Structure 1
Amino acid sequence: MKVNKKAKFIRRRLILTFLLVIPVLLYKGYKEFNSKMVQANKTVAANKITTTNNIKEETSGKKENYKEYKPEVNRSNVSSEGQKYTYDAKEVKDILDNKGKNDGEKIVFLTFDDGPSVTVTPKILDVLKNYNVKATFCLIGKEINASEGSKNLVKRIFKEGHALANHTYSHNLKSLYPQNKTNVEYFMEEVEKTNSAIKSIVGQDFNTRVLRMPGGYMSRKYYSDPNLEEFNAKLEEKGMYSIDWNAYDFDSEGSKKYAAELLNEVIKSVGTKEKVVLLMHDTYGKEETAKALPQIIEYLKRQGYEFRTLS
């Protein structure tokens, strides 16, 4: 009987001790576990900071494939999509004036004059989109305002990353160059009128430094235009550059040419040039230019040219 009482007493003491010790052990284990978790979180946070810094350092060291692209510069004749394809108009002007230096980099600027047209421009844009190539469209103001379809094409050109250039409002040589002399005041009025037409479509921030004179700046020099000095001063005041071309598909010269002939003209006029400003047209009646464009692009790609836009 005494033994049973003693055994019961011992069991009670053991149970009581167990009940007291277990919570203490659990509490110590919790503190130790919590301490390890805090330290682990600190380590993870430190690793994140290090990783982020490394990424920043790596990113800051990377260069864009398009060396002229400067994200901080707002090139307002292209959309955000077209920013990385631009090339400075002044440098292109220097190249055409034989002032630029050869650097081994082969670049071509596809330029389309006299548009937009609802028959040819969409075909040109489809080809460019298919090849992921950007171009510069030298627009005529009266063609922009010709219809809602024309205005929608300007919107599409801009949205798809191509550059917009000014090709005057009327393209009327007699009005722009009366007696074969540039009417500077009237010419600049047409430039502003075309800019306004484009702004009404793509936004008031639009501004282009790129001007393509009807007939080309070279024609004004050829005819010894006495008003060129005044005209040049006005362009400088506006921060604009008159950009001609040094290669041509001859789609507006002589008798009508078919796609294969236009391609041959491009091959001949491009020759071995390192920097190429190629003149073509996307106005009415130039369907063969649209047909030739895929072969022209493929040829230029095989020759190692990179496609850029004027800004």
Structure 2
Amino acid sequence: MNEEQLRRRRRLRRERQRRRRRRLFYILCILFIVIIFTILRGLLVHLSRTSNQAQANVALWYIQQMDREKAGNPDRSNVSYHSIAELSNIARDKLTTFGFDLVKNSNHIKSADKYAYSAKKIREITEGKLAYKGKKIAFLTFDDGPNNIITPQVLDTLKDRHVPATFFLVGRNLGKKHEDMLRRILREGHGVAIHSLTHDYTRLYPGRVGDTNRIRYEAEETQKLLKDYLGPDFHAGVWRYPGGHQSWKGLEGGDEALAKLGIQWIDWNCLVGDAQPKSDRPTTVEGQVRYVDKSLKLNKQTRIAVVLAHDAENKQLTADSVSKLIDYFKENGYEFGILK
């Protein structure tokens, strides 16, 4: 074998070695990518499982904490609360993932979205500004709450009858004492709306004329309170003027101020009569149902019924009437909705 043949053989050997190194390099790169992908995938799965387990553990801790609280041996090192009712509320939220189920920037949870209707559109229908020939819908609305006497009775009946309603809440009533009722209203598929901060006619309508700055202030402050309890994604886009829009003068500025805040006002087109003068106020359940029937039939448009009722602490008769009111509307072919 001559020198040239030896050189050629060495070149071929070196070329084969380079090809083997390249193949090995490619194989190692592929293996590295596969290993990294597997590690990342496993890490994501682990984090997901850990997060879910952590949530489950948190919920379990709260439930166990309630048992410890009842036994007089609570562990307050990991949570701040003022009563077992508040702790129970927190535990339910953890178990039902309440807070994640809210329709963002709205006043209801996702399961209520199918029966939530625009307050502005409903108002325009009841005012005769918008033609409507659709299905019959009743909107049960309750003003002046929440409280721990009448509001829970109303909620119990609505839950038993599987009927939603809209609660127009007064800001001054929103506090730790009524937090459970507030969150229950939202959790059970109802709409949360604003009925001012103070319900003070002299502040809102001095001289019976709307004070735009005061109306704006009370809407903003009540909205802040609601967000404090229901989260930053909550937004109540519905307002009812105390006494009703129809009762006051000069509300154009207030209406505009509310609209800029993403809030629409609405009155009613029928009522149970629980806030009427005593000479005209029903004194029986049947009387409240008749009052609704009579007041609704005064309207040209009766396919939409926005029902005014109150769940203030002195409205026991209204709480007693809720089931019969539901019967009345169901017997007359109405479905039920909430205002958004």
Q: What's the TM-score once normalised by structure 2's chain length?
A: 0.66
Contact 1:114–1:138, Cα closer than 8 Å, also in 2: yes
Contact 1:81–1:160, Cα closer than 8 Å, also in 2: no
Q: Distance in 1 between matches of 2:146 and 2:309?
A: 13
The aligned residue for residue 292 of structure 2 is: 266
1:235 to 258, 261, 276: 258
| Residues 88-103 of structure 1 aligned to structure 2 (within 5 Å) | 88-103=118-133
Contact 1:114–1:140, Cα closer than 8 Å, also in 2: yes
Pairwise CA distance, 1:188: 1.1
Q: Distance in 2 between matches of 1:234 and 1:75?
A: 18
Contact 2:219–2:258, Cα closer than 8 Å, also in 1: no
Matched, 1:254 2:277: yes
1:124 to 138, 150, 154: 154
The aligned residue for residue 53 of structure 1 is: none
Q: Cα deviations across residues 48-70 of structure 1 (Å, max 9, x unaligned)?
A: xxxxxxxxxxxxxxxxxxxxxxx
1:209 to 227, 234, 237: 237
| Residues 98-177 of structure 1 aligned to structure 2 (within 5 Å) | 98-145=128-175, 148-177=176-205
Matched letter for residue 270 of structure 1: L
The structure with the larger Rg is: 1
Pairwise CA distance, 1:151: 1.3
Stretches of 4+ aligned residues off by more than 4 angstroms: none
2:110 to 69, 80, 99: 80
Contact 1:75–1:83, Cα closer than 8 Å, also in 2: no
Matched letter for residue 244 of structure 1: D
1:175 is paired with a residue whose SS is: helix
User: Where do 5+ consecutive residues of structure 1 fail to align?
Assistant: 1-72
1:279 is paired with a residue whose SS is: strand
The aligned residue for residue 305 of structure 1 is: 334
Matched, 1:191 2:219: yes
Q: What's the TM-score once normalised by structure 1's chain length?
A: 0.72
Judge which range, 133-142 or 189-198, deviates more: 189-198
When the two chains are superposed, the root-mean-square deviation of aligned CA atoms in Å is 1.7
2:139 is paired with a residue whose SS is: strand
Q: Distance in 2 between matches of 1:234 and 1:193?
A: 14
Pairwise CA distance, 1:258: 2.3
Matched, 1:287 2:313: no
Matched letter for residue 322 of structure 2: L
